[in-house]
Structure 1
Amino acid sequence: MASERSLAVLRAIVQDYVASREPVGSKTIVERHAFGVSAATIRNDMALLEEEELIAAPHTSSGRIPTDKGYRVFVDQLTEVRPLSSAQRQAIETFLGESSDLDELLARTVRLISQLTRQLAVVQYPSFASARVRHVELVSLSPTRVLCILIADSGQVEQRLAELEQPVEEATLAELRLRLNELVAGTTMADATALLSGEIDAVDPRHAAVLHTLAATLAEQARVQRSDRLVVAGAANLVRTEQDFAGSILGVIEAIEEQVVLLKLFGEMSGDEHAVAVRIGRENASFGLGETSIVSSAFEIPGRDISRLGVVGPTRMDYSNSMAAVRAVARYLSRTLGES
């Protein structure tokens, strides 16, 4: 078991290696950190850390670098995430406060996190996967144009225009509205999507084509409500750290572009909804991201499912800063969206 001083040496190695990308030796630690002991004593501590597989020598006669296990111990020792500076917090409020709607807010969010952390930033778009259909409304704008309105039990309203191939009268539209509400009112968005995409018996066969068009439009609205997708920014930051990866980063980029990979990873990181979660290196190997670390935290919009935001980067990451930035932005989003 590593001693308290050995763990302090590990922290010094992590901090110096993250800052310099150079393996860290005992002499460097003595010069940069006030341990008050000799280089020989520090070498003994480093030997213990190496036995514990917390640090390793990248090549013969070099200093040491943290292993995935070492980064994990380092992160777990961060019992308190240091707060952002007042200037950084003000920047968050100013930059995100200028957003006019949710789409712009999330686009600004990933840009801001990317700038604060110098990592690739991702935000999970809030969805209504667990929401239910409260009501379907059809509003005639012209004989061949109908505004389809899908209202969720959370209060969210989704509107979309349907263009009809044949005109429809108000009385017929009222019948179709009743039929569609009988079909999906009270169902989840997932069930509504399936029901509206399937065969629906029309009250009058003459209106089957109109009913099909309206149902298809509403199905797409329900599908949007329940879809999981990501907003991403800062890919250049990932490319900038290419030398931190043993092989090509193309596999990492492809895994990120395949959004389902990160969405599944986020799903596994959702145990503690309001804490900052960190997945390091080989903990992500099953997702094809074994050389990356992911730092994420949750935010919440009333009536929607819990969503997550975070950063993806090499294991040589400034974890403390990344954790602080991710937590601060997540808290801002939850607070702001909860008030809207």
Structure 2
Amino acid sequence: MKQSLWEGTDLNIKTSLSKEQLQQENQRLKALSELDGLTGIYNRITIERKINEALAAKHSGAMLLFDLNNFKDVNDQYGHIAGDELLQNVAYILKKTMGNNMVARTGGDEFVIFYPNTLDMEELEQKRQMLQKRLGQIKIKNSKQFTLSASFGDAVYMERDDYIKMFSRADKLLLQNKQALHHVRAPKSQMADRLNKRVEMDTKLIRYDLQESTPVEGAYYLSYEVFQGIYRFLERALCRQGHKDDLKSFYVILFTLTEKEGGILKPEYREQEMLLLKTQIHDSLRRNDVFVQYSSCQYLVLVSDADAAGVELISRRVKERFYGNQPKNTADVILQHSFPLQASETRGSQSDSTAVGMDEAVKKS
């Protein structure tokens, strides 16, 4: 019988050693994945993650961004091996001079330095001058004429900053400084590459600023100015030929709180009752519906994908929840009126004849 490869060995020891070796290899590969393969400092993905983590923890920091001037000429005149050695020497200086601060090669001849503690502009300028001096000491073999220099941009932490925002500000300054250095526009190919990079960064920044940070279920509560802007935008969209059918399912609902006899709600009850109604409107509607406080006793709601019957169901649901959560011995009534959205060009001339009124007083039973 053929002898087993594992016969006479301790399987537990073998398995243990194998796991330990595997863990070490995984750690080694993880470390390698975080580094730039040529220079041995952080790559772009890693530095973005680490800077975001530092900003989230300390809410402070400063960034220096730089790229090497005329680096293409180095590759063209001395070869790509000399260019690679130059980049490695830059990384060596960064690691030696920056201490525990984070450094990375973000692409080509572009590098990022991040200082966890916020520096003022004078301190950043001192850092820049020191680094420029160190870079000027780098030499290329068999060349006595070459002197290395760099163009810089910087950014100091501002509220709600992340890597994208700080990099974008620093990159814009870098580009301005590079153009001022040469007093002429950079080559079209270089300008196009940097422009594409800036557009990509700006796009990320815009999406970050516009998107809702922590989306929640229920209707979206807005300021009156924003609500009015959305309403007018949809009015204008209705004016476009071929789009009227797409938006005819938008309805506006007005909820009004009154006393049982129809009078104005007493001030001592108003704030509490309006807060209760706000909660029920929010919870009864969907994430794509919006609402706003119109007056001290009224809310405006804009709903989509609805008709008169659907609006009636929505209103009834709000009222039932309001009355179900209302304290005892209160006599408030919700008056509700709704109308469909119309093209802005018809507003005023047809609103009285086409609005769908569904006034009602629903008393708490």
* Range of TM-score over shorter length: under 0.3
**Relative contact order (C-alpha < 8 Å, sep 6+): which is higher?**
1
Q: What TM-score results when the alignment is normalised by the length of structure 1?
A: 0.23
Q: What TM-score results when the alignment is normalised by the length of structure 2?
A: 0.22
